[in-house]
Amino acid sequence: MSLHIVQIIDNLIIGGAQKLLVTLASQAEANRLELTIVSLSLNNDRVILDELASLGTKVIIFPAQHLLDLRCIFRLSRFLSGKNFDLVQCHLTYANIIGTLCGRLASLPVVTTLHSTEDVLQEFHTFIGVLETWTIRHLAKRVVAVGYSIADSFQERLRGRAIDVIPNAVPIPARITEKERLELRKEITGDMGKKIVISVGRIALPKGYEDLVTAFSFLVPSHPNLVLILIGDGPLFEEIRNLISRLSLEKNVLLLGAREDVPRLLAASDLYVSSSHWEGLPLAILEAMMAGLPIVATRVGDIPSVVTADIGLVVPPHQPESIAEAIAKLLDEPANLRQMGAAGRALAVEQYSPQAWMERLSNFYAQTLR
């Protein structure tokens, strides 16, 4: 017998939680899941919507004008009551509040999902954090975190409530040929001989891109053939562009915006860097490992438990000098660079593949419904 699960999320703008829903959609049929996704925003990315449509996943939009939009709450509760859903799972702050409330009003079991550490609340008004905490504590049947550090960070807020941990997953990418790789490198940099460092993510405060660009200003004098490509869009896009200009790094730091070919860009690169100030378990790092890239990352969230010494280097956050030193160290040791990339890919395939993740998630759903 298949399960009909509804996933409620703040929006379908490209991000870690949204990518996870695409992965779930790709695995749903093989695991006897019928999937419906609800977005609480009209601001949704066409790339995500097209991917979900190609997988045959139903997407319903219930735009909320504000957090306690009674009209949205009424309509969503009625929708959940009128379908044969077995379980509701909510993702991100607004959905953890509105979706959990509506799921309970529809007499359905609700799972809330924690995607980042509690530091993310500084992006929101204090009242929203308090309301999310109350809703999770009193209305959710189960709570799941995508990383162990995230679960730890919420323990005090949730006053010891049990939190299950199901680490993120990423698809295993298709391989590209060496010819395709070289052509893509030339397309990006104009020179196949340049070394490419890549970082993928929303151009926003948590990602620490100012630190990464500053690190490159330290690196370029000694490594003039080095190019950093930043993939993504976000509220700080123009600010980072201006910083690149002020530091005269236009030839060495390229802002490529949102791209649909991230797996290919990863495969064409030499090294992945995450400069985040706070994180949970970033999908972008797992995707880079799947692509066989060694990692330089900041010591936040679950990153230190994943990026071990055989996979890459971990440095303190907010320290551009340390990021620059780690990048230089790895790039100056090509043999070690290849070994780290191979070790990272092997670990990612074993621990973070969609198949391994779905086995854990299916067992979790079954336990919740029992």
For 66-92, the pLDDT digits (tens) are: 888 899 999 999 999 988 999 999 999
123 band by pLDDT with thresholds 50, 70 and 90: low
Report the 10 Å Cβ neighbour count for 318: 14
Which pLDDT belongs to residue 118?
56
Which pLDDT belongs to residue 316?
97
2 band by pLDDT with thresholds 50, 70 and 90: confident
The arithmetic mean of pLDDT across residues 133-151, rounded, is 94
User: 216 φ, ψ to 5°?
Assistant: -70, -30
Tell me which residue of 223, 226, 198, 215 sits closest to 324, measured CA to CA. Answer: 215
C-alpha dihedral, 339 to 345 to 350 to 355, nearest 10°:
-170
User: 269 φ, ψ to 5°?
Assistant: -100, 175
Q: How far apart are CA 5 and CA 7, in angstroms?
A: 6
Which pLDDT belongs to residue 122?
47
**In percent, how much of the chain has pLDDT > 70?**
98
- For CATH 3.40.50.2000, the residue range(s) in the chain are 3-169+353-369, 178-351
Amino acid, res. 277:
H
Q: Label each residue of 303-358 as H, E or C.
A: HHHHCCCCCEEEECCCCHHHHHHHHHHHHCCHHHHHHHHHHHHHHHHHHCCHHHHH
CATH no. for 178-351: 3.40.50.2000
Q: How far apart are CA 289 and CA 283, in angstroms?
A: 10
Q: Which helix (H) or strand (E) holds 195?
A: strand 195-200
Pick the CATH number of 3-169+353-369 from 3.40.630.30, 3.40.50.10860, 3.40.50.2000, 3.40.50.2300: 3.40.50.2000
Sheet of 142-145, strands arranged across: 58-61, 33-39, 3-9, 87-91, 110-114, 142-145, 164-165
125 band by pLDDT with thresholds 50, 70 and 90: confident
Secondary structure letter of residue 221 according to DSSP: T
In angstroms, what CA-CA distances link 226 with 240, 256, 262, 311?
Answer: 18, 16, 19, 21
Report the 10 Å Cβ neighbour count for 149: 21
1 band by pLDDT with thresholds 50, 70 and 90: low
